């Protein structure tokens, strides 16, 4: 009975994982395909990697995407932190519920609507103030900040609520002025949430196709826009090569994160043992 059930579980988990990973494995394998036609196997080769590295179009898209993602993540984390702080630490100010609702709205707003409304905003701004002259890096970054900030705010808000206020009160009690409390206590304590908020905003931006498509202009293609337009023109194996590199980068990042987490757990365990010895 028990053996049967565990066999059932094994099968289910295998099928499930296969469903996730076989497409990725295929993608990686086909990135080494010599043939120009994606579905036709033409033997092993790294020619598409060479093509990829020589393609200026791809590299400008990658660098634009990374630039946007980094600037976006930094601003979104800063603004999201301020929003979370005012939600959690400023008590019941007037309009708090409204502010909280408006802060969370981008989470549930369809991307198409966000994208469209921002496009309308930028067009109006251009007519009234003459800025932005061209849509591109600046407009995409602003658009990304507006929606990813909400995600960051939620992450930080959860951490702030969980942290309680006594450490900040203790610092203030010991004579630290509010700004000092923020820099010496709140921000160091928030660091894990700030880092994960930053990474979340970074990923959201790197990943976004819909909103970026709305607010971009001629000549400014982010990586997702480039990939998507390439696919419309017909799949080419150099995109597989690009995807393989992205998978590799993500895998390395996850491994590093896991290592950090593991070392932190080891440290906590050691601390506990040390504390126990003092009892």
Partner 1 sequence: MIEKSNVNDTTWHTDDKTKPLVQIKGLTKKFGDVIAVDNIDLDIYQGELFCLLGGSGCGKSTLLRMLAGFEYPEAGTIKIDGMDMSNVPAYERPTNMMFQNYALFPHMTVEQNIAFGLQQDVMPKDEIADRVHGILKLVELEDYKKRRPQQLSGGQRQRVALARSLVKEPKLLLLDEPLAALDKKLRKQTQFELANIQEQVGVTFVVVTHDQEEAMTLSSRMAVMDAGKFKQIGTPTEIYEFPETRFVADFIGSANIFEGRVSEDGADHVIVSTNVGEVYVNHGQSIAKNKKLWVGLRPEKIHLSITPPPQIGPNQIMGQVEDIGYLGETSIYKVRLKNGQIVDVTAPNQRRPMSRTHSITWEDAVYLSWEPESAMLLIS
User: Contact positions toward partner 1, by CB under 8 A?
Assistant: 166-167, 169-178, 180, 184-185, 188-189, 268, 271-272, 274-276, 278-279
Quickly list H helices, 90-110.
Answer: 96-108
Q: In sequence order, what E strands does the chain have?
A: none
> From the CB of 192, what's the least distance to partner 1, in Å?
11
- Tokens 């393609």 appear where? 55
Round to whole Å and give the CA distance between 204 and 209: 10
Round to whole Å and give the CA distance between 144 and 204: 8
102: its two tokens: 């408006």
> From the CB of 177, what's the least distance to partner 1, in Å?
6
> From the CB of 163, what's the least distance to partner 1, in Å?
10
Q: Output 108 or 174, the one with its CB closest to partner 1.
A: 174
Round to whole Å and give the CA distance between 152 and 80: 5
Closest CA to 156 of 53, 243, 82: 82
Q: Output 172 or 196, the one with its CB closest to partner 1.
A: 172
Closest CA to 83 of 106, 104, 68: 104
Beta bridge partners of 33: 44
Q: Output 124 or 266, the one with its CB closest to partner 1.
A: 266
> From the CB of 94, what's the least distance to partner 1, in Å?
16
Q: Output 50 or 267, the one with its CB closest to partner 1.
A: 267
Peptide bond into 156 cis (omega under 30): no
Q: Output 164 or 234, the one with its CB closest to partner 1.
A: 164
> From the CB of 92, what's the least distance to partner 1, in Å?
10
Count Cβ atoms within 10 A of the Cβ of residue 167 and give its class: 0-12 exposed, 13-18 middle, 19 or more buried: middle
Q: Output 121 or 176, the one with its CB closest to partner 1.
A: 176
Round to whole Å and give the CA distance between 211 and 118: 9
> From the CB of 48, what's the least distance to partner 1, in Å?
48
Round to whole Å and give the CA distance between 279 and 267: 19
């Amino acid at each position: 009975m028990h053996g049967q059930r565990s066999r059932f579980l094994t099968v289910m988990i295998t099928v499930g994982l296969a469903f996730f990973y076989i497409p990725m494995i295929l993608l990686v394998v086909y990135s080494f395909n010599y043939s120009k036609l994606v579905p036709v196997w033409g033997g092993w080769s790294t020619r598409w990697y060479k093509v990829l590295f020589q393609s200026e179009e791809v590299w400008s898209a990658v660098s634009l995407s990374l630039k946007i993602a980094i600037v976006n993540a930094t601003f979104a984390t800063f603004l999201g932190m301020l929003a979370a702080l005012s939600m959690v630490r400023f008590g019941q100010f007037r309009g708090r519920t409204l502010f909280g609702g408006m802060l969370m709205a981008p989470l549930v707003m369809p991307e198409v609507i966000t994208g469209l409304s921002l496009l309308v905003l930028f067009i109006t701004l251009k007519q009234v103030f003459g800025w932005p002259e061209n849509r591109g890096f600046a407009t995409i970054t602003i658009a990304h900040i507006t929606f990813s900030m909400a995600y960051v705010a939620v992450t930080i808000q959860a951490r702030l609520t969980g942290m309680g206020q006594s450490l900040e009160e203790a610092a203030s009690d010991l004579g630290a002025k509010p700004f000092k409390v923020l820099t010496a206590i709140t921000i160091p304590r928030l660091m894990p949430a700030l880092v994960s908020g930053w990474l979340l905003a970074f990923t959201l931006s790197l990943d976004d196709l819909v909103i970026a498509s709305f607010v971009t202009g001629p000549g400014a293609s982010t990586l997702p826009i480039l990939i998507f337009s390439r696919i419309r023109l017909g799949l080419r194996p150099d995109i597989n090569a690009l995807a393989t590199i992205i998978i590799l980068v993500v895998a390395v990042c996850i491994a590093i994160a896991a290592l950090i987490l593991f070392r932190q757990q080891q440290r906590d365990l050691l601390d506990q043992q040390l504390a126990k010895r003092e009892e």
